[in-house]
Amino acid sequence: MGHLSIWSFPTRIVFGAGAAKQTGAEAARLGSKHALVVTDKGVMGAGLFAPIEASLREAGITWTIFDGVLGNPIEANVHDGVRAFQESGADLVIAIGGGSPLDVGKLVRLGIHHHRPLAEYDDAIGGDRYITANVPPMLALPTTAGTGSEVGRSGVVTLDVNHRKTVIFSPHLLANAAILDPELTRSMPAFLTAATGMDALTHCLEAYVAKGDHPMADGIALEGIRHVGRYLERAVKHGVDLEARGGMMKAAMMGAVAFQKGLGACHSLAHPLSSEHGTHHGLANALCLPAVCAFNAEVAGARLAEVSVLLGGEASPAGCVEAVRRLRERIGLPGTLTQAGVPRGNLDRLADLAFQDACHQSNPRPCTRDDLRALYEACF
Interval 106-140: pLDDT, tens: 999 999 999 999 999 999 899 999 999 999 999 99
Write out the H or E segment, with its range, that includes residue 234: helix 215-237
Please state, for a pLDDT cut of 90, what percent of the chain lies above it.
Answer: 90
Q: Which residues are within 8 A (CB) of 22 and not within 5 positions of it... i.e. 6 or more apart?
A: 14, 55, 179
Q: Which amino acid is at 77?
A: N
pLDDT, position 2: 58
Q: HSE (CB half, 13 Å, CA atoms) of 262?
A: 19
Tens of pLDDT, residue by residue over 148-180, are 999 999 999 989 888 877 889 999 999 999 999
Average the pLDDT over 312-325 and give the result.
98
Q: What is the pTM of this model?
A: 0.93
Q: Residue 356: what pLDDT?
A: 93
Structural domains of the chain sorted by starting position, each given as residue range(s) with its CATH number in brackets: 13-185 (3.40.50.1970), 190-378 (1.20.1090.10)
Predicted pLDDT of residue 229: 98
The predicted pLDDT at position 4 comes to 62
Above 70 in pLDDT, residue 306? Answer: yes
DSSP for 317-364, written as a single string: HHHHHHHHHHHHHHTT--SSTTTTT--GGGHHHHHHHHHHSGGGGGSS
What local confidence, expressed as pLDDT, does residue 275 receive? 83
pLDDT, residue 131, reads 98
pLDDT of residue 165: 79
The reported pLDDT for the residue numbered 359 is 94
Angle at 60 between CA 58 and CA 61, to 5 degrees: 110
* Closest among 337, 138, 145 to 246, alpha carbons compared: 145
Can you give the pLDDT at residue 6? 66
In this model, does residue 336 exceed pLDDT 70? yes
pLDDT, tens digit (0-9, with 9 covering 90-100), for 215-268:
999 999 999 999 999 999 999 999 999 999 999 999 999 999 999 899 999 999
At residue 164, the pLDDT reads: 79
Query: Taking the chain, what is the end-to-end CA distance rounded to the nearest angstrom?
Result: 48
Helix residue ranges per DSSP H, 189-214: 190-209
Is residue 1 predicted with pLDDT exceeding 60? no
Report the pLDDT averaged over residues 309-325.
98
Element (H, E) at 370: helix 369-378
